[in-house]
């Protein structure tokens, strides 16, 4: 009998094999899993390759007007401004690096730009006009230092037109802080050349104090208009009942305008060379330092809810003011208003703040948000005769976009329409940015590493099955 016949006889006598009914289903799942792992590995490897290409791609130059080519020793506003990281804002005094320092000294020299370092911070960023160096200072009594971040939504500060002085809101306690503790405060003016501080106290009129929220210099740099709240109680998380008040101070003398009650602090404040304070909210009020009655009129459109801002006036008293939807501005003369469209694209949300006047053109800052919530800051020059053709003169990177801290103040006398900015070097912040984002090498290697791991798993599973 042949071998094949013997095998057939043995097979006929053996019982049928008992197979697990889930065998084929498990096999199909395993095969599908292998295919998915292979596809994920391919996608991860492609993502890593794209990330590597993005890292190696040269940076795109900012879309700004020509500031003069190579690095320029001429004093002026830098064509690019970059905010400090939180490690610097909250770090110790004395820290420094290429292009920046945190200092206790107040005689830092003429500044081209100034802004609150971060929400709830007591430090102010001052950008040197001559060298572009960033200096973080904490002026004495600054409201950002004295009060918790939830108490004051806005901390007023304003750089003089020549960049030599900084006006800021000042507040201090008379005794241990508590809900009924009276305060003393008002506006202080810091001379950036000498470091000397001059205090202008605001009479609270029997209340606990006055918190200044917005400041604006007169065109000639001799006066400062202010807008704020008089309060009767406060806590670390907010103030009690408040009354909106406004007034003005004479920087070189004592011709201050006492606090005057106004309908609302949801407005802009300006001051003219002769000391007339203009508060523009739902209506336009003109407060005369000699207490002469001046006419009031309704505003064309209201400003945004909860917004107080300084709006430096032109020499003829004209101001610009953001409207409620912040997509346009209002050009306000002494007797009438007209809209000033910015020509901004649809589908993008904006915050707009007036910075002053340069050669008859309005200087404004815009913070623009795309559909992913990412923000881009720009400083623009707008000719009132051709408002839709606004010109970008400076880019703003990683300066807080929160409306209460992200808007800055600039020295408008250092800017001209023909040469709006200069090319100063940007600081080398620790970590390279204002927020701790993952480094580029990690963004590149992480997907590639994931693809390598997944690919290894696929190969090992196949070898195990073949073995």
DSSP string, 390-449: EEEEEEEES---SHHHH--EE-GGG--SSS--B-PPPP--GGGSSS-PPPHHHHHHHHHH
Both tokens of 9, joined, read: 């006889």
Among 354, 295, 289, residue whose Cα is nearest residue 322: 354
Task: Answer positive or negative: Cα dihedral of 315, 275, 138, 352.
Answer: negative
CA–CA dist 359, 11 (Å, integer): 104
pLDDT at 50: 45
Spans of all domains in the chain: 80-432
pLDDT at 112: 97
Q: What are the backbone angles phi and psi of residue 78, rounded to the nearest 5°?
A: -65, 145
pLDDT at 240: 66
- Supply the DSSP string of 296-352, one letter for each residue: -EE-SSPPPTT--EE-PPPTTS-EEEE-TTSSEEEEE-SS-EEEEE--PPTT-EEEE
pLDDT at 411: 97
CA–CA dist 32, 34 (Å, integer): 5
pLDDT at 96: 94
SS3 at position 250? strand
Among 217, 226, 220, residue whose Cα is nearest residue 166: 217
The strands making up 96-97's β-sheet, listed across from edge to edge, are 96-97, 100-102, 134-137, 124-128, 111-116, 409-410
Domain covering 80-432 assigned CATH 3.40.50.300 in the classification: no
CA–CA dist 117, 409 (Å, integer): 12
Give 346's contacts (C-beta < 8 A, 6+ positions apart): none
CA–CA dist 438, 440 (Å, integer): 7
- pTM for the full model? 0.76
C-alpha dist (Å) from residue 332 to 235, 279, 288, 362 = 37, 11, 18, 12
pLDDT in tens, the chain (467 residues): 566 666 566 656 666 655 555 655 666 666 666 665 566 555 555 555 444 444 344 434 444 444 444 455 688 999 999 989 889 988 999 999 999 999 999 999 999 999 988 866 789 999 999 999 999 999 998 986 555 443 444 568 999 999 999 999 998 877 666 667 778 889 999 999 999 999 999 987 777 888 898 999 999 999 999 998 888 776 555 666 788 899 999 987 666 777 888 888 788 899 999 899 999 888 888 998 877 767 787 776 666 555 678 889 999 889 888 765 555 678 888 878 877 776 665 555 577 888 999 999 999 988 777 677 667 788 999 988 887 778 899 998 866 544 444 578 999 999 999 999 999 989 999 975 433 334 443 444 444 554 555 455 544 555 555 44
Report the chain's C-alpha Rg in angstroms: 31
CA–CA dist 459, 396 (Å, integer): 49
Both tokens of 213, joined, read: 């929220």
């Amino acid at each position: 009998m042949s071998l094949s016949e013997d095998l057939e006889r043995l097979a006929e006598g053996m019982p049928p094999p008992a197979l697990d009914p889930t065998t084929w289903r498990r096999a199909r799942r395993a095969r599908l899993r292998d295919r998915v792992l292979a596809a994920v590995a391919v996608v991860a490897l492609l993502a890593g390759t794209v990330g590597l290409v993005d890292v190696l791609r040269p940076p795109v130059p900012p879309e700004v007007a020509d500031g003069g080519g190579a690095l320029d020793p001429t004093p002026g506003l830098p064509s690019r401004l970059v905010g400090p990281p939180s490690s610097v804002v909250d770090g110790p005094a004395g820290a420094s690096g290429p292009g920046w320092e945190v200092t206790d000294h107040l005689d830092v020299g003429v500044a081209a730009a100034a802004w609150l370092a971060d929400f709830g911070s007591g430090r102010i960023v001052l950008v040197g006009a001559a060298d572009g160096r960033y200096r973080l200072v904490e002026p004495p009594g600054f409201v950002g230092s004295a009060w918790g971040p939830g108490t004051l939504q806005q901390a007023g500060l304003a750089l003089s037109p020549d960049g030599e002085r900084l006006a800021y809101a000042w507040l201090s306690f008379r005794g241990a802080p508590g809900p009924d503790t009276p305060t003393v405060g008002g506006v202080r003016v810091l001379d950036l050349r000498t470091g000397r501080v001059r205090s202008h106290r605001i009479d609270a009129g029997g209340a606990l104090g006055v918190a200044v929220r917005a400041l604006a210099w007169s065109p000639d740099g001799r006066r400062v208009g202010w807008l704020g709240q008089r309060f009767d109680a406060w806590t670390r998380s907010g103030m009690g009942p408040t009354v909106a008040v406004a007034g003005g101070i004479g920087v070189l003398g004592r011709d201050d305008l006492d606090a005057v009650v106004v309908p609302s602090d949801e407005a802009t404040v300006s001051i003219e060379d002769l000391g007339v304070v203009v508060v523009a909210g739902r209506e336009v009020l003109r407060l005369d330092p000699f207490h002469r009655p001046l006419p009031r009129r309704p505003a064309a459109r209201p400003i945004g809810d909860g917004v107080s801002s300084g709006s430096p006036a032109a020499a003829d008293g004209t101001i610009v003011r953001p409207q409620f939807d912040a997509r346009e501005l209002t050009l306000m003369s002494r007797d009438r208003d007209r809209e000033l469209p910015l020509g901004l694209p649809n589908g993008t949300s904006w915050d707009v703040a007036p910075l002053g006047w340069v050669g008859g053109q309005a200087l404004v800052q815009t913070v623009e948000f795309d559909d992913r919530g990412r923000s881009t800051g720009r400083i623009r020059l707008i000719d009132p005769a051709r408002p839709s053709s606004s010109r970008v003169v400076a880019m703003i990177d990683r300066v807080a976009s929160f409306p209460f801290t992200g808007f800055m103040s600039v020295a408008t006398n250092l800017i001209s329409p023909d040469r709006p900015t200069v090319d100063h070097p940007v600081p080398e912040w620790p970590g390279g940015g204002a927020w701790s984002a993952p480094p580029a090498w990690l963004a590149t290697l992480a997907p590639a590493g994931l693809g390598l791991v997944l690919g290894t798993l696929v190969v090992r599973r196949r070898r195990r099955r073949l073995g």
